[in-house]
Structure 1
Amino acid sequence: MEVRLRDREATRERLLAAARALFAEHGYERVTVRMIAAAAEANIALVGRYFGSKAGLFGEVLAGEPTVRQVLEGDLEGLARRLGEYTAQRMRAEPDSPILRTLERSAGDPEIQALLSERLRTAVVNPLAARLEGDDAMARARMATAVFLGVGSVRRLLGPSDPTPEDVDRLTGLFEACLRGRE
């Protein structure tokens, strides 16, 4: 029985790795369950057995990826600067993270919009709001999230650019305004 469990887990991990790579390369809508199974050298039925559906598999890929959490951690006084630096890095050509590439290629797919919305809430907006004080913490967290998500959209539409120190300063100022509570 031990060998079977290890084989099951190994197959599940191969499916996740294949899905992560294919979603990052092609986006959600262009990847089929058949493609994922073939890349993982697994039976196509195992996707359904382990994940329920392609959308379920995509959700597992999202859950296993790093988030912006490390940027949110640390002292509150430096948060706007860390967000400015993180966002400036997203101005570059292609995100280093497969999950960011996947999200950028797949955000408009109606089949997974609920998954993406939930992931954005649980990985970014809610943890950021929890760091802020005041009644409007959620609104401020959503505004700051819109700023760094918007940089990815601009990069896709206008092309990449290397951020300058001035860009980091400007973004930091935007985040300071977003995060500041009512006075």
Structure 2
Amino acid sequence: MMQDAEKNAPPRRSDHTRAAILNAARHRFATQGFERTTIRAVAADAEIDPSMVMRYYGSKAQLFDAALAIDLRLPDLTAVPADDLARTLVRHFLHRWEDDPTGDALLLLLRSAVTNDQAATRMHEIFAAQISPALTAALGPERTAARAGLISAQLLGLGLTRYLLRLPAVTVLTAEQIIDTLAPAIQATLEQR
């Protein structure tokens, strides 16, 4: 009986406060970087006292670490035909980045990984823990080991050039043009023997 009441209970105020802090932190870290982001600025954006940020996250480094917690939300690749796997991956990442590019923790991580060792380590961990197992499930272990890193490089290169560097030759392309152009390169990587 008690468990049902807990499931149907409205979200606690602390959950809302944590989410507000995390959203504000992701925005600040994405736009200003780790060094220029302050606890006071994050608190002001979240409309709370700076002591609340410290209460929930302990330090700026711990807040940054929480902001970098990322689920790539990969689809079940085992259900995708092998010849459509690359198109599915490119479409997924484009959709993911274009839904909310300023609030996307993956873009925050990509921007930060270039200059921050903690972010670079997190990038390695996320892609190793999520891309590689998803590809292994779809392709088998013998075809995945060397390919996961190269596919990650291609997808992260797309994110870097389209959303962070905003190279005109890449930003003018529609999502379908990118899928049609990039997917064959990723497919070739997937099929390499």
So what's the TM-score if we normalise by structure 1?
0.74
Aligned residue in 1 for 2:182: 171
Match of 2:46 in 1: 40
CA–CA distance in 2 between the matches of 1:17 and 1:166? 31
Offset at residue 140 of structure 1 (A): 0.9
Counterpart of 1:30 in structure 2 is 36
Note the C-alpha offset of 1:149.
Answer: 0.9
> Which stretch has the larger CA shift, 50-59 or 143-152?
50-59
Task: Determine which structure has the larger helix proportion and give its number.
Answer: 2
| Structure 1, gaps ≥5 residues long | none
TM-aligned CA distance change 1:99 to 1:91, over 3 Å: closer
TM-score of the pair, normalised by structure 2: 0.71
Structure 1 runs (4+) deviating above 4 angstroms are 86-92, 164-167
User: 1:117 aligned to 124, 127, 137, which one?
Assistant: 124
Q: What one-letter code is carried by the residue in structure 1 that aligns with 2:121?
A: A
RMSD: 3.2
Tell me the CA shift for residue 23 of structure 1.
2.5
Higher relative CO (CA 8 A, sep ≥ 6), structure 1 or 2? Answer: 1
* Alignment partners' CA distance in 2, 1:134 and 1:55: 36
Task: Check if 1:8 corresponds to 2:14.
Answer: yes
**Structure 2: gaps spanning 5 or more residues:** 1-10
- Specify the SS of the correspondent of 2:12: helix
2:158 aligns with: 151
Identity %: 34
Distance 1:50 1:86, change over 3 A: same
CA distance in 2 between counterparts of 1:12 and 1:46 reads 9
The change in CA–CA distance for 1:164 and 1:22 in structure 2 (over 3 A counts) is closer
